[in-house]
Structure 1
Amino acid sequence: MATRRGFIGSASGISTAALLGYSASPSAADSPLTDTASTTAVSVTQQQAKDSIFAVNAGMRSNYATLKAELVKHLSPVIVVQNDAKGGRFTLVTANGQESVNPVAETFELAKSIAHVPLGCFSVIASYLADKIPNLPNADRIDPHDLLLVAFNDDRSTAWIEPLQAYAATLTTARKNLPAAGLPAALTTSCGHILDAALEFINTSVQAKVFDMKSFEDFSGSVYPDIRVNMEHAAQAQIKGVQDIMKTWRAKVGEAAWADLYCVVLSQWTTSVLNQNTIIIKDCMNAAKVATHLIDLPGLETPKDPIFTALDNLARIVQDNIAAEMVFPKDTKVADALKGKEDLLSDEILIQLGGGGAATTQSAPTYNTLSEGMCPVRK
């Protein structure tokens, strides 16, 4: 996973330098200093001089990567959370190994599955929308350029009919089998309403061979109360599942180790602020350390090796925490930048651009959006 410092984390000392195109340890023949026999200055080209300077950073990156790779082996205890359709896969990492579990009950996924029906319909028809915004209550909130980008197909085309009918077949099967799913009564009712309304919208649109934003919003708006019911059941299932596994693992590792627990939550950028698992986990950790030990790592896609990605980034954070105080012992503001999410040059760039960098630097590093207090969401 790329980060703000963008170093080469997997390269060895020699391979890092080779990859960058210069040697981390210049030979005596390449040295710009002196001739060992006559102590006379040896002539070097400008590029050789630059390469010798580049090699200094290559050596730093190599040493940094070596320290990080070794530190990964000593991280404990750590909980890594992979957000997924099931409410999250949780992995506990300790000195004794790893264990993973999906702690959230199926109600979470079932409730969200039906709540996603309007989005499923939209995904089929969106590219065939007319690129003119009709008179809608929320018309001023729709960016005309964004609509033009999404509505890239001819709005006179009927190519949407077949895929929408295929989705309707899936919805019909789910509606028929819904009573046998064993869901709570209120959830069964809300799911039925959503499925019925979606099938009515699809059938009407297919018969007329036309739809528009108004007809779709009439449908989606009509089922919003039912979607809220589904969201309530999904949230209840997730809170209970996460809190239960956190209690179980707390007892397993012991209070002393739990006080220093790191939690790394891997999420997509679109859900990285007020991430659902981060909100729940926050209250299960040591309150004195949650600001720096609960870490959100947003990305574009799920990494191939989520656990390694989490631990690799955590090792970088941990070693930067120590390096910051020792490398910048005389400037705590710059040290905080190294410890946090700021680039070390950001303050200087803001100053030079007239942004008054000193006023923008935080006094202490935080790694998530919830560290300053309770959840900001209120009913």
Structure 2
Amino acid sequence: MNPYTAQRIALADTYLPAAGPLATTNRGFHECYNHLLGETLDRLGHAIPVLVMLHDDLHLSAAGSRQYVQVVPEHYHQLKAVAHSGFGMQLWLMTHRAKVLNETLRSQLQANSEVLRQSRAALDCLPIAERATPATLLDTSLGFIHRIMAAGGVETELVEEYSTWMAPHVMKLARAAVRLEIDALHEATDRWRRELGESMWRDVYVVLCGTHQPRYRQAASQYFDRVLGEHPGIGAESEDRIVFAENIDELDGAFDLLARHIVDQQASTMIFGYRGRLQKDLLADVATEYLDQILPTGE
């Protein structure tokens, strides 16, 4: 059993109730659950192939071996940084809208200009085909700074003009970045699918690790929805072979979450006849019924 799971299992003794026969019953439940969890973990990466998207890499665990490939290239982060420079400029303008420039604000603008010029020079490391849009965004942002300096203040009209101009250019950067990611994802996934063979591929699970709650229609999630023929949705109840791991940044944690997901689905199918029932709060439906009594909507 992996260390991440072992650490979580050790916490079971701290769950309430703390003492008495009900505490013994509760511990018995967790012992049975953890036994099934251990059996499932033993199958993950062996009989059950698992893909894990962790940071910039896609990992494959299958037949007892692991391999990985970087699917978010450095160029992706460079394009993202340029987009952030545009957003940063926008936030600065929003903060200081309608203000007359004093020495502090002039110094800030001069510092921003220097950063933008250095960033512009750094674009030489990008492939030629990917330079045009970030160069335009940085050059135009510099131009706006010069106009603000010349006007002696952050005029509201300039703020609104920059906002209108920036949005489509940021989306062009986003389009270029997501193509880099999806192309690399598709190349690695397609190759591994051929290596595994269709009989083993039918059992594959995907875990997408992130530091934030899952974004609606996140790029990698959309990609694997299509590859695995899943039906996209919002929230854990919609997850089947694709699972989002929030705030998990290690493979052991991803495997622990996936094992719990599989055990919960199996138990849910046997108890409720619906594999996704335990992927929403067990109290959800009865809570709605009771709230309809004490706080009916529409009143």
TM-score range (shorter-chain normalised) is 0.7 to 0.9
| CA-CA distance at 1:162 after TM superposition | 4.5
- Residue 116 in structure 1 maps to residue 64 in structure 2: no
What amino acid maps onto 1:168 in structure 2?
S
For structure 2, the 5+ residue unaligned runs are: 232-237, 294-299
Q: Deviations over 1:166-188 (max 9, x none)?
A: 3432210122343563321xx42
The match for 1:293 is 241
| CA distance, structure 1, for counterparts of residue 107 and residue 6 of structure 2 | 48
The match for 2:50 is 78
**8 Å CA contact 1:178, 1:188 repeated in 2:** yes
What amino acid maps onto 1:343 in structure 2?
D
| CA distance, structure 2, for counterparts of residue 190 and residue 248 of structure 1 | 32
| CA distance, structure 2, for counterparts of residue 332 and residue 159 of structure 1 | 66
**8 Å CA contact 1:250, 1:258 repeated in 2:** yes
**8 Å CA contact 1:105, 1:237 repeated in 2:** yes
The match for 2:33 is 64
| CA-CA distance at 1:319 after TM superposition | 0.5
| CA distance, structure 2, for counterparts of residue 62 and residue 10 of structure 1 | 12
- Residue 332 in structure 1 maps to residue 273 in structure 2: yes
Alignment of 1:174-253 (within 5 A): 174-179=119-124, 181-184=126-129, 187-206=130-149, 210-211=153-154, 214-253=157-196
| CA distance, structure 2, for counterparts of residue 53 and residue 253 of structure 1 | 47
The two structures have a TM-score, normalised by structure 2, of 0.77
Q: Which structure has more helix as a fraction of its residues?
A: 2
- Indicate how the Cα distance of structure 1 residues 65 and 225 shifts in structure 2: closer, same or farther if over 3 A, else same: same
- Indicate how the Cα distance of structure 1 residues 181 and 231 shifts in structure 2: closer, same or farther if over 3 A, else same: same
The match for 1:311 is 255
| CA-CA distance at 1:244 after TM superposition | 0.4
- Residue 17 in structure 1 maps to residue 18 in structure 2: no
Which of 22, 40, 50 does residue 53 from structure 1 map onto? 22
**8 Å CA contact 1:80, 1:307 repeated in 2:** yes
| CA-CA distance at 1:97 after TM superposition | 2.8
**8 Å CA contact 1:242, 1:281 repeated in 2:** no
| CA distance, structure 2, for counterparts of residue 94 and residue 155 of structure 1 | 63
| CA-CA distance at 1:71 after TM superposition | 2.4
| CA distance, structure 2, for counterparts of residue 247 and residue 188 of structure 1 | 29
**8 Å CA contact 2:17, 2:23 repeated in 1:** no
Aligned length: 280
Which of 167, 170, 173 does residue 115 from structure 2 map onto? 170
Over the aligned positions, Cα root-mean-square deviation in angstroms equals: 3.4
Structure ranking higher on relative contact order (CA contacts 8 Å, 6+ apart): 2
> SS of the residue aligned with 1:10?
helix
What amino acid maps onto 1:278 in structure 2?
S
**8 Å CA contact 1:264, 1:295 repeated in 2:** yes
For structure 1, the 5+ residue unaligned runs are: 1-6, 24-50, 131-153, 356-379
What amino acid maps onto 2:13 in structure 1?
A
Larger radius of gyration: 1
- Indicate how the Cα distance of structure 1 residues 89 and 213 shifts in structure 2: closer, same or farther if over 3 A, else same: farther
Percent identity at matched positions? 21
